Structures are given as C-alpha cells and as structure tokens.
Chains A and B, each alone.
Chain A
Amino acid sequence: MAVKFSVSNLDLYYGDFQALKNINIRMNENEVTAFIGPSGCGKSTLLKSLNRMNDLVEGCKITGTVLLDNVDIYKNMEITELRKNVGMVFQKPNPFPMSIYDNIAYGPRTHGIKRKSQLDEIVETSLKQASIWEEVKDRLKKSALGLSGGQQQRLCIARALAVKPEVILMDEPTSALDPISTMKIEELCFDLKKEYTIIIVTHNMQQATRISDKTAFFLHGEIVEFGETGQIFAMPKDKRTEDYITGRFG
C-alpha cells in the first residue's frame, strides 16, 4: 500500500519541554491509523504536527521531516494547501456559529468556489458522506449550534470532507459523545477509509480495535510500538504496551 504520511526523526519542543522524541512512523493510504496511550503522552501533539496546527502554539519548535506524498510539509508546501489536503476533526465539536449550510460551504468558499449550484452539490454530498444528510436536509439554513453534540461532530466531519481532503485527522472525536453517536462515527470511519486516509487519536482501546488497521502506542513522547492493530492488542512485543492494554497503568 502507498505511504501517505512519512514522519522521520521528529522532535518537538514546547519551549524547553520536549513533547515528542525521535518519532518515526509511516501511515498508509486508505488505512485507519490509531494513536493510543495515556493522556499527556503526545498523541495530539503528533497529530497536530501533521497539519501544522502546532504553528499556532507560541514557542513550539519542530525538527525532523514530515512528508506527505513525499513532499516536505514544513518546507515545500503552502500551509493553506496542506490544510486543504489534511483535514482535522477536533475533540470537542466546534461548528461555527452560522447555518449548517454555511458551515459546510466555509471550506470550499475559502478555496475559491463561489457558484451556488456547485456549493449546493458539495454541501449535499459532504453531509451524505458524513451520514447526517437525512437529519439536517430540511434545516440547512438553521444554526448549526442547535444540533446535538453527536450531530455537531458529524457536521464537523462533513465540513472537513467538503474541501475534499486526502487525509482526515481526528483527535478523540467521540470522547465528548454518547455511545450511539460514537457508534455512528466509528461506522463512518470505516466507510470513509475507502476514499481517505484516517489518523485517529483515541483513549478508548476497544475503539482502536474496532476501527483501526494500524495502532501506535505512545508513552512519554515516544512511540513505543507501532504495528498491525490485531498484533498490537493480541501479542504486544513491548512489555509497556502489554501493561497499558491490559490496564495495568494509564
């Protein structure tokens, strides 16, 4: 399978604090890669390095390389172009305080699409892909803040899909949601990986086993173990991974 993201020798500092230590990992196209590990171990930090959201953090320094389709995203790519190709879904649903339609159309408009018919079509396909179309098709002009938490999160997924990214980063997308919404989003991940590459942070290990192809286990800013999800959970090679997944710490 083709490699989508390739991270090598990545070190990341927040001021003096080293949050990531010598990260090397490759993520394949059309796979779901899960990041697991105790909180504070650097999962979100690595995820945010993949679409350069860390650039917003003052005092954040990064060394090493991150290649997306063999292009260095820190050196040879416009940041807006990168973020168009690598979408992100946040832990807490963050729909904009505007209508459902305008939420979805925001990305395409940002990238220069103005024609109403084209926008209409993008809004409809994105909402369908995020399987929320049926629930909102009669209220597209209503505020997105009126939706439930689970609907808001699927709306955010649709919003990310609307710019036609290649990769979708998800940072604990279901941690604020009820079980049914969580299930819907997991099913969604499963459907979406046919067309997209998905990288998901989760602290829920069942979730990782249910939806991911590969799993990376993080501890104190390092990747302890990375491999097939089945292998990681059934036969972890590292003692620390085993301790974590059997619930002995974290």
Chain B
Amino acid sequence: MTKKLFAEKFMKAVFLICACVSIIAVAIICFFMFVRGIPAMREIGFVEFLFGEKWRPTAQIPKFGILPMIMGSIYVTAGAIIIGVPIGLLTAIFLAKFCPKKLYKLLMPPINLMAGIPSIIYGFFGMVVLVPLTRTLFGGDGNSILTASLLLGIMILPTIVGLSESALKAVPESYYEGAVALGATHERAVATVIFPAAKSGIMAAVILGIGRAIGETMAVIMVAGNQPRMPKGILKGVRTLTSNIVTEMGYAEGLHYEALIATAVVLFVFILILNVLFSIVSNKAAPISFKRKKVKKEEA
C-alpha cells in the first residue's frame, strides 16, 4: 500500500469514527433513559403515570401522575408560540424585505447575540423584570404561565427570526421580479409571493422554536412558580416537565428517582415528534425538487 493511499484510508476511518460518536451518544442516551424510565412507568402504571393528575412523590401513599407537568409544558410552549411567532415572523419579514442596509447591520448582531445568551440570564431578566411587571399589571404573585410564556416567547425569537429570515432570503429573486412586473407593489409581492414561497422554511423555524421552548429549563423554573398541579389559569403558577426533573432530582430516590427519568422519557418523545415534523417540513423547504416529485405522483 502506498503512503498516500494509507493516509487516505486512515483519514476516512477518523471521519467515520467522529461521525459515529454522535450517533453512539444518541443511542446511549435513548438506551439509558428507556431502560430506566420504562420499568418505572410500568410499576406506576402507564395510564396512571401519563394521565394521573396528582404528583405527590413523597407522600405516605405516593402519587406519580405527570399530567399537570405535561399540560404545563404544553401551555407554556403554546403561550411562547402565541407571543414569539407573530413578533418573530414580522421581524424576519422586516429584516429580509423592508430593512435599509445600514439598519440591518445594526439589528442583526443583537439578534444573533440573543441566541447566545445563557438561559439563566433570561431567567434573571424574567425574575427581575417580567415577574414584577405581570404582578402589577394583572395581579397574582407574578410567577405564572403568562410570565413563563412571555419569557420563552422572547427566548425563541432568535431561532424564529434567524431561520425565517434566511428562508425568506432564499426565495428566488425571479419570483419577486415576476410579481412586480405584473404591477404588484413591493408589499403585495412580499405578502403574496415571497412569504408563501418561504412557508416550509418558516414552518421549520417555528418547529425549532417549539423545541427550544419545550426543552427550556432554567429560565422557566425561575418564573413559572413550579406548583405541580393542573394549570388553573394563565396567572397561576405551573410546573413543566423539565422543571419537574430539575427541581426534584437532587433528593429523589427509589421509585421517585425513576419516575423523574420516566418524565425525561416523555419529554424526549415530545422532542422526537418535533424532530420528525421538522424533517418533514424542511424536506418540503427544498421547494422545486420536492414539489416536482409531488406533482408527478399526483399525475400517476
């Protein structure tokens, strides 16, 4: 074997091993969580665990129902979407199609920075600013679904803005030219041709945003109140799946500990579902090739 050929083979092997590391990591995570989590679920009872409304892990007769946390995660995430998606999309449309170049250069760095700020800092911001704000505006003690939604809504902005802005920018200029050549105004061309053409990319951005919101832990713990009970209103406190795990992991033992791992399994399944959705829509985001295929299928 020549030296060159060996070097080539060797590097190939190195790349292969590197590629395998991440796959193996995911496999180990899955294995560990399911092996520890599923038996706990079986012991508690799948229905009791997923749909039980009481979480009393340390009571005389312990109850391990995580429905309050599932609902908590869903409520808080939905709130974040309601707040973050419209703001994020409008920002992205402005940046991609209406923003003067100079302003763009001014706006982009802070938006990118937002993505890099550690969530504990968002949490502090939530505690110091948003909690008192919602308390004075709406009453209650301020630690609530609303506050958590607001904070998460802000936290998912960079994801949504960044990805939808690139989706909008990736729409071929020829579509825009075609529209204005027919007499459409800039606004109309953006709203009726460019935005729809970027739809799949924008959906992908929203799904990633949802993933970020549902997986967020630290910031939510600091503003959501963390009461493990069924959510009763947007001004009431709530606990999410992630905060359930972090709050109790430190002292849990036995079945309680296993139940927390099972909680993580449920969270993991949520994320898996989002990932599948993401790959479906981002496949669509490669517009022309995919649509061609689809059209051909329809004809057949």
Contact = CB atoms under 8 A, between A and B. Distances in A.
Interface of A: 51, 53, 56, 80-84, 87-88, 90, 92, 94-98, 106-107, 110-111, 142-143, 145-146, 156, 159-160, 163
Nearest to B290: A145
A156 B196 contact: no
B291 A146 contact: yes
Contact of A143 (B175, B181, B184, B295): B295
A207 to B, nearest CB: 22
Contacts of A160: 181-182
Given A97-B287, A145-B292, A110 B184 contact: yes
Nearest to B193: A96
A51 B181 contact: yes
A51 B184 CA distance: 13
B248 interface: no
A94 B295 contact: no
A96 B295 contact: no
A142 B298 contact: yes
B196 to A, nearest CB: 7
B183 A90 contact: no
B170 to A, nearest CB: 12
Nearest to A89: B181
B182 A94 contact: no
Contacts of B192: 106
A83 B183 CA distance: 5
Contacts of A159: 178, 182
A53 B180 CA distance: 8
B273 to A, nearest CB: 28
Contacts of B177: 53, 56, 90, 94
Given A143-B291, A145-B292, A94 B183 contact: no
Interface of B: 172, 174-175, 177-185, 188, 192-193, 196-197, 287-288, 291-292, 294-296, 298-299
Contact of A80 (B183, B291, B298): B183
A94 B185 contact: no
A81 B180 CA distance: 11
Contacts of A94: 172, 174-175, 177-178
A90 B180 CA distance: 12
A98 to B, nearest CB: 7
A107 B183 contact: yes
A97 B182 contact: no
A87 B174 contact: no
Question: Which of A53, A84, A145, A159 has the largest count of B CB atoms less than 10 A from its CB?
Answer: A145
Given A83-B180, A106-B182, A145-B291, A96 B172 contact: no
Contacts of B180: 53, 56, 83
Nearest to B189: A110
Question: Which of A56, A80, A96, A98 has the largest count of B CB atoms less than 10 A from its CB?
Answer: A96
A227 B192 CA distance: 42
Nearest to B188: A110
B295 A145 contact: yes
Given A97-B175, A97-B197, A110-B188, A83 B288 contact: no
Given A90-B177, A94-B177, A96-B197, A110 B295 contact: no
A56 B181 CA distance: 11
B174 A92 contact: yes
Contacts of B291: 97, 143, 145-146
A112 to B, nearest CB: 11
B182 A90 contact: no
Contacts of A81: 183
B295 A142 contact: yes
Contacts of B193: 96, 106
A87 B181 CA distance: 6
Closest 4 CB pairs of A and B: A146-B295, A94-B174, A107-B182, A84-B183
Given A80-B185, A94-B175, 15 more contacts: A56-B180, A90-B174, A94-B174, A94-B178, A96-B179, A106-B179, A106-B182, A142-B295, A142-B298, A143-B294, A145-B287, A145-B292, A156-B178, A160-B181, A163-B183
